[in-house]
Amino acid sequence: MKPLKYPFRISPITPFHIGNGTQYDPLNLIIKNGTAYFINQIEYIRYLMEKDKKKLDRNLEVSNIKQLHKFFAESFDPNAKDTFYFSYPVKKDICDTYAKNMENLQNQGFIQAFIRSTLNMQPYIPGSSIKGAIRTAVLSNICSDKNKIIQDRNTDKADQKTQAVLLEYWNREKNSVDVPSDPFKFIKFEDIPWKNDWIRIFGVEITTPPVSASVRQNPFHSGNQSEKEKKEPPIPVLMEVALSRIEWVVDSELTVLVTDKNNRGFNKIMPSGPNDIKPLIKMVNNYYQQQIDRESEYYKSMNPNAQKNYKAIKGLFDNLKDNECIIKLGMGTGQNYCSYAVMNYQPKSRRMINSLPMGWMRLTFSI
């Protein structure tokens, strides 16, 4: 069959962070006079050599990373345009925290990086992240019976087999996962470019629910939580965050291409066939509405502003059209949102920005 294209628009409801697993230090990102500059390292070193090669050599010879960080930051001149790729404004409290981090010998990183293209340094929303959020909703919809969850001390193995059984790509003869038969290989979301102007650095609040919330534990976990786990990190968590504003929306496309008409699991994704995505949208909304309800209840002892924000997000589900769905992406979502990790029923904490739960966004399809 020919590929079916479903254009859609993505509209962030709350700030979000999709990381690339790295952290910026002053060798990569310099904050000066209220602005963050992402460094072009080759050009910046060339600039330092031309400005004062002896001073650069002295700092390199010392082999002290803290001193080198300070030297990079103090020597930076924003007027040397070739020494950085892009910049964006930074609030004073972040500037102060950043400076304090530079003085901390134990701090191995400063700012958690937003995922970017290696070619042009442009931030983007990976299509795989959106598909993962959709996958989680579908799996939860067809696994209402928790007895279907396969138990194993190896939680990754249990999760993998559970997904394969539910989506009918478990090879019973070989007793293994038949990855090519995964029906989600028939749908693809394009990567979505963001803008550097829509990124800021924020200090992230780590919110832990009260003990009375009764977190459901991994059944194979001993249940003992160390003091180290209970404490919040002593160093404030700084990360690049994509902002959410009404006018900041982007367009993308969902492609459906069924290469195997006999695939048994595809009807779990699109029960009415590839020409009708409304049932899929409905499944997604059912799942994430349950999640926002659970989360709001789970964190009911939080500050009033957070509860007000949860209530506002919950209210958005009441006014959705049949071509719209709300999902949750990136940092702060919890493992059970992004991968259908069957052993992780509730996250231990939530990351928030200004009392806003992170990662909620609306998808509006053209159908």
Where among 83, 108, 133 does a domain terminate?
108
Residue 113 lies in a domain: no
Q: Do 97 and 133 fall within a single domain? A: no
Parallel, antiparallel, or unpaired: how do β-strands 192-193 and 124-125 relate? antiparallel
Residue 117 lies in a domain: no
Q: Do 161 and 268 fall within a single domain? A: yes
Domain hosting 71: range is: 26-108
Q: How far apart are CA 162 and CA 172, in angstroms?
A: 13
Q: How far apart are CA 90 and CA 87, in angstroms?
A: 9
User: Which pLDDT tens digits describe the chain residue by residue (367 residues)?
Assistant: 789 999 999 999 999 999 988 889 888 999 999 999 999 999 999 999 999 999 999 888 877 888 888 899 899 999 999 999 999 999 999 998 888 877 775 665 689 999 999 888 899 999 999 998 999 889 888 876 555 666 666 777 778 888 888 899 988 888 888 999 999 999 999 999 999 999 999 988 887 765 544 444 444 444 444 444 444 444 568 999 999 998 899 999 999 999 998 999 999 999 999 999 999 999 999 999 988 888 888 777 777 888 899 999 999 999 999 999 999 998 766 554 445 544 444 556 778 898 899 999 999 999 8
Buried b (16+ CB within 10 A) or exposed e, 12-35: bbbbbbbeeeebbbbebbbbbeee
Where among 74, 108, 142 does a domain terminate?
108
**Radius of gyration from C-alpha coordinates of the chain:** 23
Where among 51, 79, 108 does a domain terminate?
108
Residue 150 lies in a domain: yes
Residue 206 lies in a domain: yes
Residue 119 lies in a domain: no
Residue 118 lies in a domain: no
Q: Do 14 and 60 fall within a single domain? A: no
The phi and psi torsions of 344 (rounded to 5 degrees) equal -110, 90
Q: Do 311 and 243 fall within a single domain? A: yes
Q: Do 242 and 360 fall within a single domain? A: yes
Q: Do 51 and 75 fall within a single domain? A: yes
SS3 state of residue 4 = strand
Residue 147 lies in a domain: yes
Q: Do 238 and 325 fall within a single domain? A: yes
Q: Do 82 and 218 fall within a single domain? A: no
Q: How far apart are CA 54 and CA 259, in angstroms?
A: 63
Query: What is the model's pTM?
Result: 0.85
Instruction: Please report the pLDDT score of residue 214 as a whole number.
Output: 45
Per the structure, how many domains does the chain have?
A: 2
Q: Do 67 and 9 fall within a single domain? A: no
Q: Do 14 and 30 fall within a single domain? A: no
Q: Do 347 and 290 fall within a single domain? A: yes
Q: Do 182 and 76 fall within a single domain? A: no
* Phi-psi label, residue 96: left if phi above 0, alpha if psi -120 to 50, beta otherwise: alpha
Residue 115 lies in a domain: no
